[in-house]
Amino acid sequence: MRPLRPEAPLTLALGERTYDVTSRALVMGVLNRTTDSFFSPAATYELDALFDRAARLVAEGADLLDVGGVRAGPGDEVTEAEELDRVVPVVEALHARFDVPVSVDTWRASVAAASFAAGAVLGNDISGFQDPGYLAAAATAGASVVATHIRLRPRVADPDPVYDDVVATVRTVLVAKAREAVVAGIPAPRVLVDAGLDLGKTPAQSLELLRASGELATLGFPLLLSASNKRFLGDRLGVAIDARNDASLAAAALGVSLGCRVLRVHDVRGTVRVRDVLASVLEAA
């Protein structure tokens, strides 16, 4: 398997910063202000714990921080007002305390808009822009966005998804969503794409999409990989969530070698080391 280095330079714009991601991936540290996240539930719900973790992730080399207030999977209702209360003050504080871009993990346009006003520069929307006001909010704020494939909607169980060709379907949707963002006024360097592993995919389908990262990385937009500690890794190894870190690092290494250029992860220190080794390989390619 030959490491993939884009033939043309690839850049990603986040706020006032522009990153050359031709051969070096960015590491996005996860900050969940939730009570029921799939990984370490409620561990960083309290603000002191969350800010301690943020400081640790930045010290370990995180290039950006991703804040979310609602888990992707089914769970108790989180109202718009509650999500705003969970996320916006955190975004504002992170923006003030740390010299790294802040991403907001939300599919609500209102939460995205308030977060952009508070200092976030990236809207990580796993719904694929299902809220009709999302792209307008990002364009108005000059923010970047992640166009993600999901079969149904966030918070809706999808235990047995069926595709004629999962890679072709995801590729088609990502191209359409990325173009939708550009048409809405978001410049192409501010648009990322994400195959949405485990979002309406079986473990086998997620593995197939991970293998197809090289194809999805040729769409002209930086490819985000969100594989850290996910179900498809645990299913392959037969291990619980707290025993998936090695598999997560392996997925990150494979993803970078195939063209993924943003890695959304829980283990920043380990992923930074993987990224740096792969960057050396790709730069020499």
Structure confidence by residue, pLDDT tens digits, 29-82: 999 988 865 556 556 678 888 999 999 999 999 999 999 999 988 888 999 999
- Domains in the chain: ranges and CATH: 11-284 (3.20.20.20)
Q: Give the integer Cα–Cα distance in Å for 1 and 257.
A: 9
Placement of tokens 């990153």 in the chain = 19
Higher pLDDT, 253 or 281: 253
Helix, strand, coil % in the chain, rounded to nearest 5? 45, 15, 40
Q: Give the integer Cα–Cα distance in Å for 17 and 73.
A: 32
Structure confidence by residue, pLDDT tens digits, 102-148: 999 999 999 999 999 999 999 999 999 999 999 999 999 999 999 99
Catalytic residue among 53, 171, 230, 244: 230
- Residue 264 known to be catalytic: yes
- Residue 177 known to be catalytic: no
Placement of tokens 């990322």 in the chain = 192
Structure confidence by residue, pLDDT tens digits, 159-178: 899 999 999 999 999 999 99
pLDDT for 4: 56
Structure confidence by residue, pLDDT tens digits, 181-233: 999 999 999 999 999 999 999 999 999 999 999 999 999 999 999 999 999 99
pLDDT for 46: 85
52: tokens are 């301690």
pLDDT for 96: 97
Query: Are residues 268 and 12 in contact, defined by beta-carbon separation less than 8 angstroms?
Result: no
Q: Give the integer Cα–Cα distance in Å for 253 and 273.
A: 10
Q: What is the pTM of this model?
A: 0.94
Q: Give the integer Cα–Cα distance in Å for 45 and 111.
A: 18
pLDDT for 285: 67
Q: Give the integer Cα–Cα distance in Å for 75 and 78.
A: 9
Catalytic residue among 53, 86, 264, 275: 264
